Structure 1
Amino acid sequence: MLKNLKIGAKFNLLLMIIFIVSICLSGTILSNVLQQRAQNEITSKAQILIKTMNSVRSYTQNRVNPLLAPRLETETVFIPETVPAFSATEVFENFRKNAEYENFLYKEATINPTNLRDKADPFETQLVERFRNEPQTKQLSGFRSLPEGQVFYIARPLEITEQKCLRCHSTPDQAPKSQLTTYGTENGFGWKLNQIIATQIISVPSEEVFNNAHRSWYLIMGLLAVIFTIVVLVINFLIKKTVIERIRNIEKIAQRVSVGDMNANFAETSKDEIGGLAAAFERMKSSLKIAMDMLNQQS
């Protein structure tokens, strides 16, 4: 079938194949680059936020807790500001009041928490169990679906590393009275030193970032398609003018010469390959004319 196609059709077919392959290859590479860039952007946001929350926890543990801890035995109501997890959560809730960050989430998900708002859901419980079973794992990340939409999460283990932390979480009889008054004796006890009791998890909405990446992909691919189309049309026009039309002209003259019209000239002034072909045909025509004249003289 290809043998029956003219040069122009073959050339256009070749250009079309190159065009399609180039667009598909460019689209695949561009998609991977934009997807990776979007994920890097989300990861960067999550890393910054989790480091910020760790700074809040550290400040509370080292500066706030020593000042307020003595009052836990005398106050009738527990002072939650002495707890690093409470401070970090409250700071993040204030951060979420900004409309731009309202779908960002922070939680210190605990299997057996004192404050039930920190209770781990089934997914978070699996993370805690994995950290317990894989002590060498210091961070997990991935995507999950929440009512707020698709989010990217980073989770890290929270481990009891100081004996003083067990004052409020070993047994009810050692806990401050104000804690028992506020939270009761059923939750948040039985913790052990060097035990992973929770996961610190930050969730960053990812749908908008990936939607922006998709929009960028469509825009760039549209521009590439337009550019490729223009290039193909320009190349096709140049090939038609510089090659195909000249070959067609040589073909027409050769047809006239083949039926005895020796006055037809292969008019080509160019010194390129087609010009050389025309000159060769012109010499062949002259040789043919001489041979025919000699035959006519002999006859």
Structure 2
Amino acid sequence: MFKLKDLKLGQKFTLLLVLIFLSGIVASGAALSSTLNYGAQVQVTTKALMLMETMNSVREYTNSEVKPELTARLATEFLPETVPSYSAREVFETFRSSPLYSDFFYKEATLNPTNPRDQADAFETRIIEGFRAQSNPKEVNGFRSTPSGELFYIARPIQIVEQSCLECHGLASAAPASLVDRYGSEHGFDWQMDEIVGAQVISVPASTVLSSARKSLLLILGIFVAVFAIAIFLVNIWLQRYVVRPLNRMAMVAEAVSTGDTDAEFTQSSKDEVGQLAQSFNRMRLSLQMAMQRLERYRSGRRSSGSSK
């Protein structure tokens, strides 16, 4: 059975260092993991917000430049290219052809959309309702679970701030006939000015967010382990040279003195506690030697007085 008292001094010291090392790794690993995860989220959020601003620019360009040029054709033909959300979605798919953005997904989730692909799911509906409950909603971000895995998302409210939006999403009777013919008159209408009708959502697999943080964590912890291992190795060398070996030599001298060799001497030049212990041991050895000499003289005197009688 393992007993701490049976270990040698060097082993006890090494065990103490290992325990301190493991405690430090656990504590610093937890704090570092949280910090790196937050940093990774900030990095992904920054990239996602940049993409969202780009999509907003595409929406604005489509609404102000493309749509007016094709208005005459909308009476007889529905052109999805004139719809800002459609243009943004298609441009984003082009972005996704780049390896830098291939993991990102974009959706303009809407409670009452014209195009069924924009229908908000239950999770997105809760986000939109949360935006509606606020007087000045901003973007939100976090993690959500899906059948395909965990996702990190960033969402911003879609609010009707331009009257031109109501040309297609106001009253169904006033909408372009080609739009009604394509999607019907049941969905995507009766929107109101300043109403929050949906949310722009950009999402990315959580593994993408966490993988870079995990790699950084493993690298930093690997450095910590290497530094601590080297530190433990060097401390053990120092301990063996300046503590364990002097104590072992002192123990050997004490063993020799205990068997009667009072001339055995231990030398230690250091001024630290081990050196002070060595000086005290040598003083004790000299005192014992003097006591033994006095005892020997006393015995000799007793034998001399006994023989004279």
- TM beyond 0.5: yes
Shift of the 271–88 alpha-carbon distance from structure 1 to 2, 3 Å rule, reads: same
**1:35-93 Cα shifts (integer Å, max 9, x gaps):** 122212221221111111111112222222333334433xx212223221121112112
Structure-to-structure mapping, 1:27-66, within 5 angstroms: 27-66=29-68
Question: Is residue 152–residue 209 contact of structure 2 (8 Å, CA) maintained in 1?
Answer: no
Shift of the 98–277 alpha-carbon distance from structure 1 to 2, 3 Å rule, reads: closer
The corresponding residue for 1:94 is: 94
Q: CA deviation at 1:102?
A: 3.5
107-116 or 270-279, which deviates more = 270-279
Distance in 2, matches of 1:5 and 1:18, equals 18
**1:202-238 Cα shifts (integer Å, max 9, x gaps):** 1123313412322332343234323322321221122
Distance in 2, matches of 1:253 and 1:115, equals 95
Structure-to-structure mapping, 1:212-231, within 5 angstroms: 212-231=212-231
Q: CA deviation at 1:247?
A: 1.0
Could you say what secondary structure the match of 2:201 adopts? strand
1:21 aligns with 2:17: no
The alignment-based identity, stated in percent, is: 47
Q: CA deviation at 1:98?
A: 3.4
The corresponding residue for 1:264 is: 264
Shift of the 273–35 alpha-carbon distance from structure 1 to 2, 3 Å rule, reads: same
Could you say what secondary structure the match of 2:199 adopts? strand
The corresponding residue for 1:239 is: 239
Q: TM-score, normalised on structure 2?
A: 0.86
**1:216-266 Cα shifts (integer Å, max 9, x gaps):** 323432343233223212211220121111012112212322332112112
Shift of the 102–266 alpha-carbon distance from structure 1 to 2, 3 Å rule, reads: closer
Q: CA deviation at 1:3?
A: 5.3
Distance in 1, matches of 2:94 and 2:284, equals 92
**1:127-181 Cα shifts (integer Å, max 9, x gaps):** 2222222333322211223455432111111112233322222222211223223
The corresponding residue for 1:138 is: 138
Contiguous gaps of at least 5 residues in structure 2: 300-309
Shift of the 172–5 alpha-carbon distance from structure 1 to 2, 3 Å rule, reads: closer
Aligned AA for 2:268?
A: E
The corresponding residue for 1:158 is: 158
Distance in 1, matches of 2:173 and 2:208, equals 50
2-11 or 18-27, which deviates more = 2-11
Question: Is residue 172–residue 190 contact of structure 2 (8 Å, CA) maintained in 1?
Answer: no
Question: Is residue 140–residue 154 contact of structure 1 (8 Å, CA) maintained in 2?
Answer: yes
**What is the root-mean-square deviation in Å for CA atoms of aligned residues?**
2.3
Q: CA deviation at 1:194?
A: 1.8
Distance in 2, matches of 1:131 and 1:56, equals 23
Distance in 2, matches of 1:192 and 1:264, equals 103
**1:92-118 Cα shifts (integer Å, max 9, x gaps):** 122223355343211111121122222
Question: Is residue 42–residue 206 contact of structure 1 (8 Å, CA) maintained in 2?
Answer: no
Aligned AA for 1:68?
A: L
The corresponding residue for 1:84 is: 84
1:189 aligns with 2:189: yes
Could you say what secondary structure the match of 1:107 adopts? strand
Question: Is residue 103–residue 148 contact of structure 1 (8 Å, CA) maintained in 2?
Answer: no
Q: What is the number of equivalent residue pairs in this alignment?
A: 297
Distance in 2, matches of 1:40 and 1:130, equals 22
Question: Is residue 42–residue 152 contact of structure 1 (8 Å, CA) maintained in 2?
Answer: no
The corresponding residue for 1:175 is: 175
Q: TM-score, normalised on structure 1?
A: 0.89
